[in-house]
């Protein structure tokens, strides 16, 4: 890809993500629904990664402010998101109204605790993080930087994929984080048509989705003891969880093999 085209795509995404994060943060501060929190977390992860990719061309102070604020938002919303994921799983299992009422009460309590002290990122920080105008040498440097990042991502994954199923849950989560960032990088510089035709991107998406569903399943199962008082219902949910876990292991193995083939 020509350097100038890559730079313009990077810059365009930064402008879009900045607007999204600003709007979603204001919406979450007013009402932290599950959809808003999820959308903010995704947009903020993408925006922070965008800023890391463009580190040489963005002012240091505002970039660090974004990173600090982003970590705080992630810390505050993470426990709420865990409850939202658990709630989605419980609803899918058709649990009774009493269980969902108990879930909603705990979720509201957790969000109330986390939203206390919620602060917005000043508007001038977003303004300072607007991408600078295209300069040929900067565009060429960005292209080299993107290539180096892709190589680092591949190096990090190469020795983890063959033994992925033997990794600890924490190590799998670390692999998923690398996969997600590589996905963000490729999507950052591609058109929609290019994304549809990119076999590596498709493989990255498959791994991220499979590992994410497995993690979400565990979050749902963790809430059974706290929210479900009836032992018969608990046993039913554990049985459903065991079957789902087995299916997700197969899905994950196939997704990892697909990514391995895409990298060969």
For the chain, the domains span 3-263
Q: Smallest Cα–Cα separation from 70: which of 107, 10, 125?
A: 125
Residue 86's nearest CA partner among 208, 181, 222, 198 is 222
- pLDDT for residue 158: 87
For residue 159, the model assigns a pLDDT of 84
Phi/psi of residue 57, each to 5°?
-115, 0
Query: pLDDT 10s digit of each residue in the chain, 264 long?
Result: 899 999 999 999 999 999 999 999 999 988 899 999 999 999 999 999 999 999 999 999 999 999 999 999 999 999 999 999 999 999 999 999 999 999 999 999 999 999 988 889 999 999 999 999 999 999 999 999 999 999 999 999 988 998 998 999 899 999 999 999 999 999 998 988 999 999 999 999 999 999 999 999 999 999 998 999 999 999 999 999 999 999 999 999 999 999 999 998
Radius of gyration, CA atoms only, the chain: 21
* Phi/psi of residue 165, nearest 5 degrees: -70, -15
Q: Where are the alpha helices (DSSP H) in 58-198?
A: 60-92, 97-115, 123-128, 136-158, 169-188, 192-197
CA distance 57 to 142: 9
Closest C-alpha to 81, from 118, 121, 102, 110: 110
219-247 burial string, b = 16+ CB within 10 Å, else e? bbbebbeebbeeeeeeebbeebbeebeee
Taking CA 162 as the corner, what is the angle to CA 160 and CA 165, rounded to the nearest 5 degrees? Answer: 80
Tokens linked to 206: 């498959």
Whole-model pTM? 0.94
Can you identify the CATH homologous superfamily of domain 3-263?
Answer: CHAD domain (1.40.20.10)
Do 91 and 237 meet the contact criterion of CB atoms below 8 Å apart? no
């Amino acid at each position: 890809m020509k350097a100038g085209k890559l730079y313009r795509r990077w810059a365009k995404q930064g402008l879009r993500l900045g607007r999204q994060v600003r709007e979603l943060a204001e919406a979450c501060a007013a009402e932290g629904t599950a959809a808003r929190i999820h959308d903010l977390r995704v947009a903020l992860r993408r925006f922070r990664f965008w800023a890391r990719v463009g580190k040489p061309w963005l002012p240091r102070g505002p970039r660090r402010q974004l990173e600090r604020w982003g970590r705080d938002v992630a810390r505050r919303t993470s426990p709420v998101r865990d409850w939202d994921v658990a709630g989605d799983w419980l609803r899918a299992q058709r649990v009774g109204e009493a269980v969902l009422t108990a879930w909603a009460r705990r979720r509201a309590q957790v969000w109330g605790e986390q939203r206390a002290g919620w602060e917005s990122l000043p508007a001038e920080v977003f303004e300072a993080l607007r991408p600078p105008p295209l300069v040929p040498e900067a565009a060429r440097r960005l292209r080299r930087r993107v290539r180096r990042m892709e190589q680092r991502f591949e190096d990090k994954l190469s020795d983890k994929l063959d033994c992925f199923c033997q990794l600890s849950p924490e190590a799998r989560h670390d692999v998923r984080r690398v996969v997600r960032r590589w996905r963000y990088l490729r999507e950052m510089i591609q058109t929609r048509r290019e994304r549809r035709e990119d076999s590596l991107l498709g493989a990255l998406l498959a791994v991220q989705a499979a590992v994410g569903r497995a993690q979400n399943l565990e979050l749902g199962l963790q809430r059974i003891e706290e929210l479900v008082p009836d032992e018969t219902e608990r046993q039913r949910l554990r049985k459903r969880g065991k079957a789902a876990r087995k299916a997700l292991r197969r899905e994950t193995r196939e997704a990892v093999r697909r990514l391995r083939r895409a990298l060969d």
